[in-house]
């Protein structure tokens, strides 16, 4: 493998198969592979793990083998793309539970020794791309939800542990999106995959 070839991890966070998030993730993955990138597709619904952090951050909870594998792939990855729907202004429980169990102190971040509660990010050096769908129109999400998912998942989660830069792609008004418009989005994601792969391969 060429030294400048980067590893792309595509995390699929929709709990049911054959969703539009699946279609977008596969379109993006196809673009990455067509451009010669190394890609690992990680459908969270296929993993066997308890999504509840049973003791919060105050006690140990053994990682299931699938989560050990996920941490290994996150460590290897230079670029992590996330695909999931926005429900109630947030990621699905499947995604949130995965993050709670995997982005642990000592792996994703650690608190600074001065006791001020600010983090030292441990996943620096990795870029990310968050692709989400929602039934809400753009103005409603911005005006009434205050871009809640982008504030919590992009800023308070991914940037907190060191990802950056982070791209975002949001497919709004999915419920009323015409078939032709859905197909255009799939084509855009394939092209975005090619583009992201080319940038990482330089």
Longest Cα separation, the chain: 55
Torsion angle defined by CA atoms of residues 173, 25, 168 and 91, in that order, rounded to the nearest 10 degrees: 70
Q: How many residues does the chain have?
A: 202
Cα–Cα distance between 12 and 2 in angstroms, integer? 27
Cα–Cα distance between 41 and 33 in angstroms, integer? 11
Q: What is the pLDDT along the chain (202 residues), one digit of tens a residue?
A: 344 568 999 999 999 999 999 999 999 999 999 999 999 999 999 999 999 999 888 778 899 999 999 999 999 999 999 999 999 989 999 999 999 999 999 999 998 776 666 788 999 999 999 999 988 766 666 766 667 888 889 999 999 999 999 999 999 889 999 999 999 999 999 999 999 998 755 4
Cα–Cα distance between 84 and 91 in angstroms, integer? 7
Q: Is 178 domain-assigned?
A: yes
Q: Is 23 domain-assigned?
A: yes
Range of the domain at 165: 7-201
User: Based on C-alpha coordinates, what's the Rg of the chain?
Assistant: 17
Contact 31, 193 (CB under 8 A): yes
Shortest CA distance to 5 belongs to which of 39, 53, 44?
A: 39
pLDDT at 185: 96
Strands (DSSP E) contained in the chain are 7-12, 38-43, 79-85, 109-111, 119-121, 127-133, 166-171
Contact 79, 166 (CB under 8 A): no
Q: Is 1 domain-assigned?
A: no
Q: How many domains does the chain have?
A: 1
Q: Is 145 domain-assigned?
A: yes
pLDDT at 143: 61
pTM beyond 0.75: yes
User: Tell me, what CATH number does 109's domain have?
Assistant: 3.40.50.360
Q: Is 182 domain-assigned?
A: yes
Q: Is 50 domain-assigned?
A: yes
């Amino acid at each position: 493998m060429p030294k400048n070839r980067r590893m792309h991890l595509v995390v699929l966070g929709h709990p049911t198969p054959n969703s539009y998030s699946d279609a977008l993730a596969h379109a993006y993955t196809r673009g990455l592979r067509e451009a010669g990138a190394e890609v690992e597709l990680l459908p969270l619904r296929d993993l066997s793990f308890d999504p509840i952090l049973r003791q919060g951050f105050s006690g140990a909870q053994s990682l299931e083998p699938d989560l050990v594998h996920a941490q290994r792939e996150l460590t290897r990855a230079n670029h992590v793309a996330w695909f999931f729907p926005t429900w109630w202004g947030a990621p699905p429980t499947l995604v949130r539970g995965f993050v709670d169990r995997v982005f642990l102190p000592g792996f994703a971040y650690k608190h600074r020794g001065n006791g001020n509660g600010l983090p030292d990010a441990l996943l620096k050096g990795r870029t990310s791309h968050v692709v989400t769908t929602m039934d809400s129109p753009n103005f409603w999400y911005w005006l009434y939800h205050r871009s809640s998912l982008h504030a919590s998942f992009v800023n308070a989660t991914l940037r907190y542990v060191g990802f950056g830069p982070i791209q975002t792609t949001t497919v709004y008004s999915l419920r009323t999106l015409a078939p032709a418009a859905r197909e255009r989005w799939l084509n855009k994601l394939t092209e975005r995959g090619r583009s992201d792969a080319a940038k990482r391969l330089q």
